[in-house]
Chains A and B, each alone.
Chain A
Amino acid sequence: MNKKRDRLEIIHDILYVVREKKDKALQTHILYKSNLSHQMLTEYLSELLTKGFMIEMTDKKGKKHYELTDKGYNYLKDYNIIRGFVDSYGLG
């Protein structure tokens, strides 16, 4: 049985999908892989864009996709340490 994910884990999952898609992730890819409702995903994407974890790009056909910034890559790289610290003090 899966436990309920917290914010940090959901952010990790979204950024992970974007990285796995080699920075060419469409919103539908993220929606499918991150297991979130459309409304929740929109809120998270808006937060991640505002806080500079990723950027939104538009290709020649007008399709939007997402790319990670350095901050996004650092989050994924340091996730285990972040998780350990946050869990220790119940900050999640």
Chain B
Amino acid sequence: MTFSTLSPTWFFGYDVVMELAFAITCLVISLFAFKIFKVTDQRQIKLFGISFGIISASYFAQSLFNFLIISELNENISAAIELNSVLLFDAFGILVHVILMTTGLAVLAYMTLRTEKARIFWFMLALTMLGIFLSVNKIYMFYLFMSLYCIFLVIHFTENYFRHRQGKTLLIALAFLFLLFGNIHFLISVNHQLFYVIGHALELLAYVLIIINLYLVLRK
């Protein structure tokens, strides 16, 4: 099972641009978190910056490999040669994306636990990686684990909203809710390609909300 087969052909290219936009958004959030960490020296903020940095790298990898696949497909169709390199890019792209995204979300979930015990993080990460790589359908299992992490994060950000009832906290809670819906759509997209498109649209909405939040924070 590959990412390229999850996407309808008419969506080739659009997904690359959207993933690149997600990568840049996550990178901006990560850099901003590190800027705040430099002033505050708070461990939670450092972990948050690391998690968004890793998630950004995972989107960059996904975007790059999807771009390479599209370029290779176009070349191969005209040259009518075998598509081994496409399959290689696809497999490697998935591997990099899965490892980075899983690690990024695990760091984010670990950050919300407010514990200093690093063993908990390694246990979470090992359990998730083993669950994904030992399963028969790795992509399906990956999106299942990502959805579970998102449920956990939605609970954290919803609780945070009820603690600080502000527009900004509501935006972040909604953003992670959209990310959860997006992941659920990716889960279904293993069988229905249209859900891959809807998943991307929901992720786009989530990152727009995150950017609006950053704008509101900086406007102060």
Q: Interface of A with B (CB < 8 Å)?
A: 7-8, 11, 51, 71, 74-75, 78, 80-82, 84-92
Q: How far is the CA of A4 from the CA of B160 in the complex (A)?
A: 15
- Inter-chain contacts of B164 with A (CB < 8 A): 87, 90
Binds A, one of B17-25, B40-48, B133-141, B180-188: B40-48
B contact residues, total (Cβ < 8 Å): 29
Whether a CB of chain A sits under 8 angstroms from the CB of B216 is: yes
Q: Interface of B with A (CB < 8 Å)?
A: 32-33, 36, 39-42, 44-45, 48, 111-112, 156-157, 159-160, 163-164, 166, 168-169, 171-172, 213-214, 216-218, 220
- Inter-chain contacts of A89 with B (CB < 8 A): 48, 157, 160, 172
- Inter-chain contacts of A82 with B (CB < 8 A): 36, 39-40
- Inter-chain contacts of B36 with A (CB < 8 A): 78, 81-82, 85-86
Main secondary structure of the interface of A (DSSP, over half): helix
Contact B168 A91 (CB under 8 A): no
Known A82-B36, A82-B39: A91·B169 in contact at CB below 8 Å: no
- Inter-chain contacts of B40 with A (CB < 8 A): 8, 11, 75, 82
Query: Pick the contact of A87 from B33, B159, B166 — CB < 8 Å?
Result: B166
- Inter-chain contacts of A85 with B (CB < 8 A): 32-33, 36, 214, 217
Add 11 more A-B contacts to A89-B48, A91-B44 (CB < 8 A).
A11-B40, A84-B216, A85-B36, A85-B214, A87-B169, A89-B160, A89-B172, A90-B157, A90-B159, A90-B160, A91-B111
Known A84-B216, A89-B160, A90-B163: A7·B42 in contact at CB below 8 Å: yes
Give the residue name and chain of the B residue nearest to A87 (CB).
Answer: B164
